[in-house]
Chains A and B, each alone.
Chain A
Amino acid sequence: MSQPLSEIVDRADTLYNDIDLAQVRATKERTGHRAVGYMPIYVPREVVHAAAILPVGLMGAGDRIEVIRGDAYFQSYICQIPRSTIELALTGRLDCLDGCLFPSICDVIRNLSGMWQLLFPGKYTRYVDVPQNYERAVGGRYWEEELRHLARDMGELSGHAVRDDELRASIDVYNRNRRLLGELYRLRAEEPWRVPTWEAYLVVRAGNVLPVEEHSRMLEDYLAAARSADRPPRDQSRVVVVGSFCEQPPLGLLKTLERAGCFIVGDDLVLGARWIEGDVSLEGDPFRALSDAFLTRSVSTASRYEATAPKGQSLISTVRRTHAEGVVFCAPSFCDPALLEQPMLEQALDREGIPYTAFKYAENLGQFQVIREQAGTFADSIKLWSEP
């Protein structure tokens, strides 16, 4: 018998609120494995997994703790996620992590890696500098070497050296997870009334702390339950949400958008889990396969340099594919990648006649009335004035 929808969502909600990482501690105790945290957006989790280490996604503390010590480390004009991450670490909530990976998203997360080195000298810390050159012989060669370096480090940390066949098996496990995430996103785009975004978000986000195999089972259960749930179709404006790939909006904000009359049919929330589009090859050298997948099938986002594709092409294609009627730019305050990208995306949408609205948030935002009014007006305007 399939698991009831409410149970799955409740479990995901519990994990979302588990800022003490009790789930990670329990997994460590049960398996005897180590755990390594990673910041948004993309790290090659397959490599960490292959070393028998639990990769743990870190996405700040949202609105669930009061940041006190973290604020003492950052000026007022720096975004919220590094503050709450430092707060979590300084209050011992991340003690169960044996190391931390900081991917190249922006200068703040980059510098946070150095802060980690200074604050936690006993912990493994690595800045994961993904290539911005996509030639196999250039950026590919560099990235393969980086992947091998990371594998060596992970092997040393866990005492379990990464073998090619194990890495291939890990790739397989993550391929399955990505396929299920793809299914979830397709279902939401096709029948958004069946998959409210706040629910889907919780279920996707559970993958931050669950072992990937367990997360895939949760996704399967949720898909089955959502497909059979008795949820009548509703007529809301279909929108794509852009700009939330690093610091995540509070759950209340996602609920607010939906209550204001928007169906979110595309988004860039928890983007790292869906970074590679399609399967990573299980043939040949697995490091080469991971590198090739990164070079040729990475998702389009603001922190990635794209030499040839015109700006906004990917967003427009998402809008078309999901039959969205508008775009909501929803970026964290002081987020350089999202906010510098936004004018270019807006120009592209203007050229295509796609309506959009924009606002900013912080992960600990508590008041949504203004956003509700703005999103409601936007949703109404789409319904009232869009061509049929």
Chain B
Amino acid sequence: MSEPARKEPSMEKQKDMIAGHFRRLAAAKESGKKVVYTFVPGNLTELLLAFDVLPVLPEINALQSGMRQLSGKYIAEAEKRGHSEDVCTYVKCDIGMLKSGNIGPTGEKLPEPDLLLLSYTGCFTFMKWFELLKQEYSCPVAMLHVPYQGDGTITREMRSYVVDQLRSEVIPKLEAVTGRRYDEAALQEKLALSARAEDDLVWVLQSAKHRPSPIDAYFGGVYYIGPMFSSFRGTGDGVEYYRMLRAEVQSRLDRGEGPVTPDGPMGKERYRLVVEGPPNWTSFREFWKMFHSEGAVVVASTYTKVGGVYDLGFRHDPARPLETLADYCLGCYTNLNLPTRVGLLERYVREYGADGFLIHSIKSCNSFSAGQLLILRELEKRTGLAGGFVESDLVDPRYFSPANVKNRLESYFQMIEQKRGAGAAEARA
């Protein structure tokens, strides 16, 4: 049995906050709170909070099920009911969980939704996912279609389209479900809190530019730096959490320390990597260990940007509440076209002083995966660095092959080492 994971105070705090959120969800029907299911990319947390509703994020439930080794049986349950082995395992995990009693990550039953807020942002599967849930629940659906940045820009028309939908579709449905009127001042207050937390989040992410990096911007990024950002944006708790995290990272920087991993502080930093793609959740700790045990730290990642690419300068702006929500949705990482994604990765490689970049390709996530082999080629061409490529899945344990992944990673680290040696020899000559 593995030892309990080592945790920093910020990790403990986020755990408490998330547990509190699930307790509130479990008590939602008794407390009269309305519940809205929605997705991480393009989430409208501030708007939901302005209506005093509780968000449920099915991707988070699925990944939590993956980390708790429950996803395998949930996926099997969904496949038994006719869901194809070819499609997204987040969806199948969620459907399987629903059919198995809808018990959430904390062991308490999740409340049924009062509204399905289909934030259709950067992932086609989201649409089908909530169509499937619509078959199960007798609640309204609010569709928010966020146009894709096909040309790499956000046009006035795209922004207007999203704002129009907020006004004509999302807000009226939230009003109907909650019996409350839309309160713009309340929304602005939440947006201001978000912007404060976003400043600290970006500072934490960019701390990885230091050597050694005080954080792991992929594993740490999804484990405790980023995930709570979706549910607690726009809250005082969120602001406080990020202030605390920033102070914690600052003190590690002051001491010249690297990231804290579940197995304790990381040893000497040997490889600085940029990672593209979601992680595997069923073997998360094992996967992370394959990196930190070799001295590999991830200094920047793209998956931590599915909930918003704040490091490029975006901040929620209380002065233009609906427009800023539209810009947020339009700017999420999975809504960026391939040339923009390549450009962002190239920038990360250069700005964070990476020794290489790795693509973690996910079987059931076409939004990320389709085109990644071209991303690899383009990045190799532009940076002159060799890229690594490993495959597994989000929450389907059948697709995580530890020996293969470890083998590939070790070979990749050796290649970086050899290139370094060759570079040093060239310099000496």
Contacts and interface: CB of A to CB of B under 8 A. Distances in A.
Given A107-B125, A129-B148, A339-B84, A75 B361 contact: yes
Contact of A142 (B82, B161, B337): B161
Contact of A342 (B84, B150, B373): B84
Given A111-B366, A337-B128, A133 B87 contact: no
Contacts of B374: 73, 115, 118-119
B391 A114 contact: no
7 contacts: A74-B370, A75-B369, A138-B169, A141-B164, A305-B118, A344-B131, A360-B84
List 10 tightest A-B contacts by C-beta distance, closest first: A114-B338, A127-B150, A340-B128, A132-B145, A142-B161, A111-B370, A339-B84, A111-B371, A107-B366, A107-B367
A112 interface: yes
Given A113-B337, A311-B131, A337 B83 contact: no
A340 B132 contact: yes
A148 to B, nearest CB: 10
Contacts of A137: 164, 168
B339 interface: yes
Contacts, number: 162
B371 A115 contact: yes
Most buried by B among A74, A133, A311: A133
Interface string B134-164: 0100000101010110110000011011001
Nearest to B130: A305
Contacts of A75: 361, 363, 369, 372-373, 391
A139 interface: yes
Interface in A201-230: none
A363 B366 CA distance: 19
Contact of B145 (A108, A111, A139, A149): A139
Contacts of A146: 157
B366 A344 contact: no
Give the interface SS of chain A, mostly helix, strand, loop or mixed.
Answer: helix
B161 A311 contact: no
A145 interface: yes
Contacts of A119: 374
Nearest to B120: A132
Contacts of B143: 132-133, 305, 307
B145 A305 contact: yes
B168 A343 contact: no
B145 A106 contact: no
Given A77-B86, A111-B371, A336 B125 contact: yes
A336 B81 contact: no
Given A117-B339, A334-B86, 9 more contacts: A72-B373, A108-B366, A132-B127, A135-B168, A137-B164, A305-B118, A336-B125, A336-B366, A339-B86
A357 interface: no
Contact of A118 (B131, B151, B339): B339
Most buried by B among A104, A135, A137, A138: A138
Interface of B: 81-84, 86-88, 91, 118, 120, 123-125, 127-129, 131-132, 135, 141, 143, 145, 147-148, 150-151, 157-158, 160-161, 164-165, 168-169, 337-339, 341-342, 361, 363-364, 366-367, 369-374, 378, 391
A131 interface: yes
A119 B82 CA distance: 38
A255 B338 CA distance: 39
B159 to A, nearest CB: 10
A302 interface: yes
A347 interface: yes
B285 to A, nearest CB: 25
A118 B370 contact: no
A110 B148 CA distance: 9
B329 to A, nearest CB: 13
Contacts of B339: 114, 117-118
B370 A138 contact: no
A129 B86 contact: no
Most buried by A among B118, B124, B141, B342: B124
Contacts of B81: 343
A82 B182 CA distance: 45
Interface residues of A, number: 56
Contact of A340 (B125, B145, B164, B361): B125
A117 B153 CA distance: 14
Interface string A133-175: 1010111011001100100000000000000000000000000
A23 interface: no
A106 B124 contact: yes
Most buried by B among A75, A149, A311, A346: A75
Interface in A51-75: 72-75
A307 B141 contact: yes
B132 A133 contact: no
A126 interface: yes
B149 to A, nearest CB: 9
A106 B165 contact: no
B310 to A, nearest CB: 22
A78 interface: yes
A236 interface: no
A333 interface: yes
Interface string A90-116: 000000000000101111101111110
Contact of B366 (A106, A127, A135, A311): A106
B373 A74 contact: yes
A328 to B, nearest CB: 15
Contacts of B141: 307
A145 B338 contact: no
Contacts of B131: 305, 311, 340-341, 344
Nearest to A116: B338
Nearest to A114: B338
B128 A78 contact: no
Contacts of B373: 72-75
Given A139-B161, A307-B143, A344 B120 contact: no
B338 A118 contact: yes
